[in-house]
Amino acid sequence: MHPDLAKLVVLQAHDVEAKRLRDQMATLAKQVAALDTKAKATVGQRAVVVDLIAKEEALRRKEESEIADLKQKLERTKKKLDMTTTTHQLEALEHEAAFARSEISRIEDAELESMERGEALDTQKVLADAAVTEATATLERERARATDTSAADHAALLDIESKRAALRAEIILTSTGEASLANYDRIARGKGTAVSEALNQKCTACQMMVRPQRWNDLRDNSADSEASQTIMYCENCGRMLYYDPARDSPDHKIVPVESIAAQIVRSL
């Protein structure tokens, strides 16, 4: 394997892990923000229920006051009825008394409806209280977990960044390092990763077959081999290819390379 490529394989492992850590920290932050929004929403929903309960209670107090006033008026009307001397006055007072009784009945019905609504709202408040308690507890628990995890991720990221910087500085010191790093960065920007393992005669990134001659060259680890002198690229996805004999299938033999001319002669 080309010396630069061996280091680039390690560099990519650092880059992938650094991205994972950044993504995890970002995901944790989003999750906590979503839980915070949910907790605030449950508090808001509870506030609506509490406000409705207060309005129903105020309405019942008003209705009770109106009933009390009407009952007092009805008592005064009854006293006037006992003292009336004319038919006209009697009819007027009886009409007034009937209206007062009708209003008392109507308001009492309305008060009963308000009490029923109040009971339903009290039930909703119990549920809202439980929802607020649960949402708040979940938020605090996940916030603490996210804080601990993010702190560990941040420390790990600092360590990886230090290793990346040292490794890039080491690569660039070689005669071909600057070009190798430039190609690595260019491919990584476009495809996410720049290096791919060739395994079982396939590029593991794009799953396309590697030509037999290139596969044989990749598998040749001798000091003067092409794989040791140059960095090979996948002809399909353009990533840098490397071969790890420790991961190859034990029964996967080197693919024999036969020229087109030889194939024609053999078929005659």
Task: Give the count of domains, the chain.
Answer: 2
User: Is 83 contained in some domain?
Assistant: yes
pLDDT at residue 255 greater than cutoff 70 = no
Portion of the chain with pLDDT greater than 70, in percent: 93
Place 226 in a pLDDT band, splitting at 50, 70 and 90.
confident
- Cβ atoms of 110 and 63 closer than 8 Å: yes
User: Is 180 contained in some domain?
Assistant: no
Q: Classify 40 in phi/psi space as left (phi over 0), alpha (psi -120 to 50) or beta.
A: alpha
Q: Are residues 118 and 151 in the same domain?
A: yes
pLDDT at residue 267 greater than cutoff 80 = no
Q: Are residues 144 and 67 in the same domain?
A: yes
Q: Are residues 203 and 157 in the same domain?
A: no
d(CA 200, CA 227): 17
User: Is 189 contained in some domain?
Assistant: no
pLDDT at residue 119 greater than cutoff 60 = yes
Q: Are residues 162 and 198 in the same domain?
A: no
Residues 6+ apart with CB under 8 A from 41: none
User: Is 178 contained in some domain?
Assistant: no
pLDDT for residue 259? 38
User: Is 112 contained in some domain?
Assistant: yes
Q: Are residues 16 and 107 in the same domain?
A: yes
Place 138 in a pLDDT band, splitting at 50, 70 and 90.
very high
Q: Are residues 161 and 212 in the same domain?
A: no
pLDDT for residue 221? 78
Mean pLDDT computed over 22-49: 97
Q: Containing domain of residue 225, as a range?
A: 194-267
- pLDDT single digits (tens) 66-93: 999 999 999 998 888 888 778 888 889 8
Q: Are residues 111 and 162 in the same domain?
A: yes
Q: Are residues 15 and 52 in the same domain?
A: yes
CATH number at residue 26: 1.10.287.1490
- pLDDT single digits (tens) 150-207: 999 999 999 999 999 999 999 999 999 999 999 999 999 999 999 999 999 999 999 9
User: Is 187 contained in some domain?
Assistant: no
d(CA 197, CA 219): 12
User: Is 185 contained in some domain?
Assistant: no
Q: Are residues 32 and 154 in the same domain?
A: yes
pLDDT for residue 249? 61
Q: Are residues 165 and 213 in the same domain?
A: no
Q: Are residues 166 and 202 in the same domain?
A: no
Burial of 259 (0-12, 13-18, 19+ CB in 10 A): exposed
* Lowest-confidence region among 117-121, 143-147, 167-171, 259-263: 259-263
Q: Are residues 163 and 220 in the same domain?
A: no
pLDDT for residue 228? 82
